[in-house]
Amino acid sequence: MNKYEQRAIMVAGSLMGVFLFAILYNAFSRKIDVPSCTPFNTKFEKGQVKKVDDNHYEVYVIAHMWSYEPGDISFPAGSTVDIYLTSTDVVHGFEITRKDINLMAVPGGITKKTVVFDQPGKYNIVCNEYCGYNHQNMLGEITVTY
C-alpha cells in the first residue's frame, strides 16, 4: 500500500471517530431531546388544549391545508407543555419562534415534544414545509401570560 492510500485511510478513520464522538457527546452529555413519533390514535381527531394540572398542559395540534387547529393557544408562564402534532392531508412544518422547536406534521403519525415556556409573550407558529398554494398564510400563535 502506498503512502497516499495510508493517509486516506487514516483521515477517513479519524473523521469517523470525530463523528462518533460528536453523536455520543450530544446524546449523553448534552442530553439533546429528539422528538418522538407515536402511532396514530383515534382519540386524537380534534385540535385542543387540555390542562393536566396547575403547570402542565397537553396541546393536540392538527395541521390542515392551510391552518392549524387550534390556531391560537394560551397558557401561563412556567408551564410545561406536551405538544402532540399530526396532519390530515400533506406533510407540514411546525416551527415555534424563539423556542428552537421544529417539528414535522406527518399524515397518519403523531409527533410529540415537551416544551417549557418560562418567558411570557407571544410565540409565532409557522409552517416551514411547503404545503401548497396558501402555504405562506399557515400561521398560529402561542400566548404565554403572567
Q: Look at 33 and 104; give whichever has higher pLDDT.
A: 104
Residue 99: per-residue pLDDT:
87
Q: Which residues touch 103 (CB under 8 Å, ≥6 apart)?
A: 35, 83, 85, 93, 94, 95, 111, 113
55 and 6: one domain?
no
Residue 139: per-residue pLDDT:
92
pLDDT(24) > 80? yes
Q: Would the pTM of this model clear 0.75, i.e. be above it?
A: no
What mean pLDDT comes out for the span 78-104?
A: 91
Q: Does residue 114 contact residue 35 with C-beta atoms inside 8 Å? A: no
40 and 14: one domain?
no
Distances in Å between the Cα of 110 and the Cα atoms of 34, 43, 67, 73, 101 are: 14, 12, 17, 19, 16
Mean pLDDT for the chain overall: 88
Grid-cell match 400561521, residue found: 139
130 and 72: one domain?
yes
Number of domains observed in the structure of the chain = 2
1: domain range? Answer: 1-32
pLDDT(52) > 90? yes
Residue 43: per-residue pLDDT:
58
117 and 136: one domain?
yes
pLDDT(39) > 70? no
58 and 2: one domain?
no
